Amino acid sequence: MAELERARRQHWLVRTPMGFAVVTHEDATAVLRDRRFHSAFSMIGELSGVADSDYMSGRRDSILAMEGPPHQRLRRLVAGAFTPRAADRLRPFIRVVINELVDQVAGTGRCDLVADVCEPYPIPIICELLGAPKQDWKLFSRWATDIFRVFNNDLAADLPVITAASAELDDYVGALVEQRRRDPADDLLSDLIAAEEAGDRLSHDELVMMAEAVLMAGTDTTRNQLACSVALLVTHPEQWALLAERPELAPRAVEETMRYLGAVRGTLRFAAEEIEYRDVVFPAGTLVSVSLATANRDPDAFPLPDRLDVSRESRSPQLTFGSGVHFCLGASLARAELQEALPVLVTRLPAARLDGPIEWKPDTFGIWGPSRLPLVWDPPTATGASAAAGHQDA
């Protein structure tokens, strides 16, 4: 990161051992919005040397890998199910989930926030969104963990586990789709089944793909971002205190912590044709990584970019949700989850401080964050007041 930031002062495009990286806010945004650059998600099998495996040939095209008119059609059909209003409907449930997780640790005075809160947090929410019952939450958690191995840079070795989990998830979601067709409910699958535009509807395979994309894209991202955001707050105690005092700052705190330390630090594109962009010609097929992390610390977009300020009002958007046609479909839901969780954590774990070093996932992880975040705080006394009031040693 430090080297990329140094390089950003000289040029918008940096040559790295892994290829070219676009590092400024303006150019990262422009490349992500340029339709001549396509998502490299479709190349994950090729890049990992398993393109010819049964697993890759049996996969449906994920929305993340689609481009052009088929991608536009899909986004149009599903857009209504992912609006801020749709996410707001889940907020009461989200509040129950975060408070129940915090109930289990608040009285003890210490926890590993990653294992105790961040890891379990998104699963019930995604299951509620999809309409999967509570007794199946554990299944979803295991499938998500196994399928996420796809990002561990050892696809050849992980393939059997990933393939088995994908097959189980396929069967489960396929059956759920059939059930919702017969008996619609107030959930995302029923909304997607009903979604229609000019007589066009999602096919069975597309419904299964969308449900799986939501599970895959909406779980590990959210849990890692929550851990990144809390890691920042606990190492900036004045910001923890400010948010505890003014919980209405939660939406800004979410954007600011996602800007300062995003769980998705970059994404990959390839030139679908020869592209002339600014002073550079990219031959067709060139892989280009877009560094969301350095773009988010670009001083031309964010004054004093290395200062964390949860009350920051910014005209430039942080880029951790991406930009352009693949902009995160679940951004409203992710924002709702983080906006509900942060104020609960800073008020119910008063003046929490580190109880040992933060451990981070290896750099190879596509989605990244702390693997361990040990916190200690003063549990509430019998009178209900926190003994932390007056603690200044955080």
Binding site for ligand HEM (CB under 6 A): 39, 63-64, 75, 213-214, 217-218, 221-222, 225, 263-264, 267, 320-322, 326, 328-330, 333-334
Closest to ligand HEM by CB, 102 or 123:
123
Within 8 A by CB and 6+ apart from 8, the residues are 14, 23, 24, 294, 298
Q: How far is the CB of 335 from ligand HEM (least distance, A)?
A: 8
Distance CA 263, CA 254 (A): 12
Q: How far is the CB of 386 from ligand HEM (least distance, A)?
A: 29
Q: How far is the CB of 368 from ligand HEM (least distance, A)?
A: 10
Cα dihedral across residues 203, 209, 212, 214: positive or negative:
negative
Q: How far is the CB of 78 from ligand HEM (least distance, A)?
A: 8
How many Å from the N-terminal Cα to the C-terminal Cα in the chain? 28
HSE value, Cβ hemisphere, 13 Å, CA-based, for 127? 21
Q: How far is the CB of 265 from ligand HEM (least distance, A)?
A: 9
Reference 294, options 29, 15, 22, 110; nearest CA is: 22
When CB distances to ligand HEM are compared, the closest residue is 330
Closest to ligand HEM by CB, 87 or 375:
87
Closest to ligand HEM by CB, 39 or 339:
39
Closest to ligand HEM by CB, 266 or 350:
266
Closest to ligand HEM by CB, 105 or 319:
319
Q: How far is the CB of 228 from ligand HEM (least distance, A)?
A: 9
What is the bridge-based pairing of β-strands 19-22 and 37-39?
A: unpaired
Scan for tokens 């890759």, then name that residue. Answer: 56
- Grouping H, G, I as helix, E, B as strand and the rest as coil, residue 353 is strand
Closest to ligand HEM by CB, 328 or 375:
328
182-187's contacts with Cβ under 8 Å and 24+ in sequence apart are 185/131, 187/128, 187/129, 187/130, 187/131
Q: How far is the CB of 156 from ligand HEM (least distance, A)?
A: 23
* Two tokens, residue 364: 């190879």
Q: How far is the CB of 110 from ligand HEM (least distance, A)?
A: 26
Reference 223, options 324, 343, 98; nearest CA is: 98
What is the bridge-based pairing of β-strands 275-277 and 280-282?
A: antiparallel
* Two tokens, residue 198: 């000019």
Closest to ligand HEM by CB, 222 or 296:
222
Distance CA 265, CA 14 (A): 16
What is the bridge-based pairing of β-strands 359-360 and 19-22?
A: unpaired
Closest to ligand HEM by CB, 105 or 328:
328
